[in-house]
Amino acid sequence: MPAATATSPWYKHLWPWIIIGILTTSVCLSLTMVSIAVRNPDNLVNDNYYEAGKGINRSLDRELLAQTLNLKASIHLDELTGEVDVRLSGNSNPQTLELNLISPTQPDRDRKVQLARSEPGRYVGQLDDKVEGRRFVELLGSQDEHVWRLFEEEKVEHGVALQLGDEAIQGAEHL
């Protein structure tokens, strides 16, 4: 009977190190993915659905008030000077308006502009930087201490005026 030969220890073989390498790589990648997920939370998810629903109803009330007042607005953004020129038509002529250019996915790209009335139906304001791309455009004003709202999704492009109040109110089909 042949004598048992001593084999070399496990760490001198290639296959255990390949298996350890694969496991170590998967653990490192998993930890990297977890750290990315923790550092960059999803800011599009709203935890308070009830309050968001009540806000939608308030928003529809403001949009219906704008529709009742027959409001329409033409917005021109001057790319070079940053001037915002709004022409408002309808049965409201407040002293100031608020224009919000809301990015659908990047809150840091949202812009808010306060507009002052320069003459009846014309409002001007100043943007700090250039705005381009798809935006939710919200124009807020007041009439008899009630706030009205014109709101539409628009594509902001150089030299193109934005038109608000020319589309049907979304979500108010049953009203």
Q: What is the pLDDT of residue 55?
A: 55
Could you report the per-residue pLDDT of 145-173, keeping only the tens digit for each? 888 989 888 898 877 889 988 776 665 55
Angstrom distance (rounded) from CA 150 to CA 93: 14
Q: Which residues contact 115 (CB under 8 A, 6 or more apart)?
A: 84, 86, 96, 97, 98, 99, 123, 124, 125
Q: Which of 140, 139, 146 has the alpha carbon at shortest distance from 163?
A: 139
Rg of the chain on CA atoms, in Å? 29
Which pLDDT value is given to residue 74? 92
State how far Cα 64 lies from the chain centre: 23
Per-residue pLDDT band at 66 (split at 50, 70, 90): confident
User: Number of C-alpha atoms within 13 angstroms, CB side, residue 43?
Assistant: 8
Q: Is 80 exceeded by the pLDDT of residue 2?
A: no
Q: What percent of the chain has pLDDT over 90?
A: 38
pLDDT in tens, 103-160: 888 888 899 999 999 998 899 999 988 888 899 999 999 888 888 989 888 898 877 8
Give the global pTM. Answer: 0.66
Percentage of residues of the chain with pLDDT beyond 70: 82
φ/ψ (deg, to 5) at 117: -75, 125
Cα–Cα nearest to 141, from 115, 110, 175: 115
How does residue 36 score in pLDDT terms, banded at 50, 70 and 90?
Answer: very high
